[in-house]
Amino acid sequence: MSPFSLEGRKALVTGANTGLGQAIAVGLAQAGAEVVCAARRSTEETLSQIAAAGGKGSELLIDFADPMAAKDVFAGQGYDILINNAGIIRRADAVEFGEADWDDVMDVNLKAVFFNCQAFAKELIALGKPGSIVNIASLLSFQGGIRVPSYTASKHGVAGLTKLMANEWAAKGINVNAIAPGYIETNNTEALRNDPDRSRSILERIPAGRWGRSEDIAGTAVYLCSAAASYVHGAVLNVDGGWLAR
């Protein structure tokens, strides 16, 4: 069997209805995993893509605005892969940023991520079963950005928690890593790509000379969940076309 195969594995992918989550869900299914697509909106389109690729998938409607929403999801369900992709963003100048926008982002992007990981790991540790966690971090896990204080804080937190959980769970056979995507062609970046000046300035900074594709992130997620990455623990892997190296 290929060291990159996920045959016999079962994954939960959060925020799997669109964008990166959708691409990751399809990528895992193509590699052989059974994929449960978790989101607060229908994942019908993702499931159609999985089926078209010959994979196996199902839907779980869940809203991570409640950070404890997944506390009972993993028990007895056979999961051994968790992809924490669901996230939100709010924009305002730091001097104007409100408490509600701070709390909403931190609940989904950081608190839910931790408690998802906790519930997943509790189940695997109790069973003595290995598994893989991949958290979706950001370039703003390393940079400050502007007008997104809670998002930046949450993504710095995701990077830190990834390392902490790797320290605690690596010896128990659970790989915990993160992916920090660069500028990817998704709905979230459509406005940037449609602005000639912003798009040009971004492309000039990316050594690869192109925007990333969702499939670039999906392939990295497959790798981090596979036997090929069995000795990779606590990494925050930049998939950014060289942005941070510039």
Report how far residue 6's alpha carbon sits from residue 134's, in angstroms, rounded to the nearest whole number. 14
Contacts of 97 by beta carbon, 8 Å cutoff, 6+ apart? 90, 149, 150
Catalytic member of 151, 183, 223, 231: 151
The CA dihedral of 9, 32, 3, 213, to the nearest 10 degrees, is -110
| DSSP assignments along 146-180, one per residue | SS-HHHHHHHHHHHHHHHHHHHHHGGGTEEEEEEE
Question: Cβ–Cβ contacts within 10 Å for residue 176, how many?
Answer: 28
Kindly report the length of the chain. Answer: 246
Report how far residue 44's alpha carbon sits from residue 37's, in angstroms, rounded to the nearest whole number. 9
Catalytic site includes residue 183: no
Task: Evaluate whether 176 touches 167 at the Cβ level (below 8 Å).
Answer: no
The bridge status of strand 236-239 relative to strand 174-181 is parallel
Which positions are catalytic? 151
